[in-house]
Amino acid sequence: VAFLVAFHQNKQLIGDRGLLPCRVFLKNFQQYFQDKTSWEVFSYMPTILWLTDWSDTNSTLDSLALLGLGISSFVLITGCANMLLMAALWGLYMSLVNVGHVWPGSQSSPQALERQVAGILIPTHGQQQLPEGRPILRGDSWGLRGVWKSVPLPAGLIKIRGDRCWRDLTCMDFHYETQPVPNPVAYYLHHSPWWFHRFETLSNHFIELLVPFFLFLGRRACIIHGALQILFQAILIVSGNLSFLNWLTMVPSLACFDDATLGFLFPSGPGSLKDRVLQMQREIQGARPKPRFGSVVRRAANVSLGILLAWLSVPVVLNLLSSRQVMNTHFNSLHIVNTYGAFGSITKERTEVILQGTASPNASAPDAVWEDYEFKCKPGDPSRRPCLISPYHYRLDWLMWFAAFQTYEHNDWILHLAGKLLASDAEALSLLAHNPFASRPPPRWVRGEHYRYKFSRPGGRHAAEGKWWVRKRIGAYFPPLSLEELRPYFRD
């Protein structure tokens, strides 16, 4: 899904004519570090694009995304993987993330990279679903489980240390309405009774702050940990469009289940996968096989990588223990270990930036007709049903949520988008769901309006009119702009 999102959206966002071209980003980065060697520049921002021709970044971005999509599809369909394939996926996606500017800013991208690093350690050099003689080492399994140190526990701590509403159990009164991209289920959950929201908040604290320690309390507690975490993430998937974040967060919990726990999922009978596993277990029971050279090398490599990961995890642990905990950041350019945390602060009201255009020659004329542009998923038209897209992800819609509680000066890309709309740029318009000027000349003016949004009440007047949202204008987000006014800005 990560590579599919990159293939569908990278050209429009960071391509040759994108909102924030990665070619410009690379040139600025190179100029900033002009006194550094090429290797030092690469180490600061490792990406394959340093080695490619920047005159056609669209083709390069598409090639990297398609190659990653092909390899990941092969692994998914066949169930076969090795270190080389997993390392290739990590390198390809890291190359795209590091030139992605602000667009891969959610937890999903760095978490995908960290999962891929964990995935590199588990497969062997062979290409088998069931590698005989090379079982997963205990350290690999614990390494995958240990990823939980950087997901639920930091998320729980950032909440307790952050917004007061997490401590007085009122955050869920607001969350469903104010999350980045609500879905239809969130509409109904938002209108749940107050006691249900208190129960949700307490359950969140239990899952994120206490359940992670079940890993160290024996087999049964470990299995309970895995089941609870998967259930928790499934609930988050159903109640919100948080990209592939929650799907990724499920992955480490799979290491909590041993063969005896998952055996019922596989068919029995002679020659089946389950039968082969049981046969292997009978053969090695009580045996002390002579160590093979390959096994010794692999163990040595795993121990070395384990020590490296432990060393790289020191800043993550220190951040976890700090009263000034930082969320959603990485401590090295390879994104090997990162720290996470979501919704440490909960916005109590939802605001949206609505982009509008007019064909009127005078933007301030009373009779000027302003028409709304509609995005793929973010709230706009109050009558449009909230979308359901997880695990897919619309990066522009996600950033528009952040822009709504900041100013356009902090999000200069939104002026680039306004310029693209004024020019009727086909690539930029492909990121939107509705262009009111599709069959007409482009608008003469584009402006940003700031609105406050609230879910309509089921059974109420607005819901009876078919409206999911009730909105009220707050004021101007940015003033009416023409292409002539923006040209000097773009040149600068």
Q: What confidence tens digit (pLDDT) does each residue in 292-349 have?
A: 666 677 677 777 777 877 777 777 777 777 767 666 666 667 777 777 767 777 889 9
DSSP H stretches of helix in 146-288:
152-161, 164-167, 172-178, 184-190, 194-205, 219-239, 245-250, 259-262, 273-284
- Say yes or no to pLDDT of 76 above 70: yes
- Model confidence pLDDT, tens digit, residues 134-167: 555 555 555 554 555 556 777 788 888 888 999 9
Enumerate the β-bridge partners of residue 329. 339
- Average pLDDT over every residue of 351-378: 95
In degrees and rounded to multiples of 5, residue 477 shows phi and psi of -90, -50
CB 417, CB 355: distance < 8 Å:
yes
d(CA 82, CA 80) in angstroms, rounded, equals 7
CB 277, CB 284: distance < 8 Å:
no
* Cis bond upstream, residue 391 (ω within 30): yes
CB 447, CB 476: distance < 8 Å:
yes
The more confidently predicted of residues 236 and 163 is 236
Burial of 269 (0-12, 13-18, 19+ CB in 10 A): exposed
Q: Are strands 432-434 and 374-375 parallel, antiparallel or unpaired?
A: antiparallel
**Per-residue confidence at 443, pLDDT binned at 50, 70, 90?**
very high
Tell me the pLDDT of the chain averaged across its residues: 85
Report the pLDDT value the prediction gives residue 5, as an integer from 0 to 100.
Answer: 94
- Model confidence pLDDT, tens digit, residues 237-280: 999 898 888 888 888 888 888 877 887 777 777 767 677 777 77
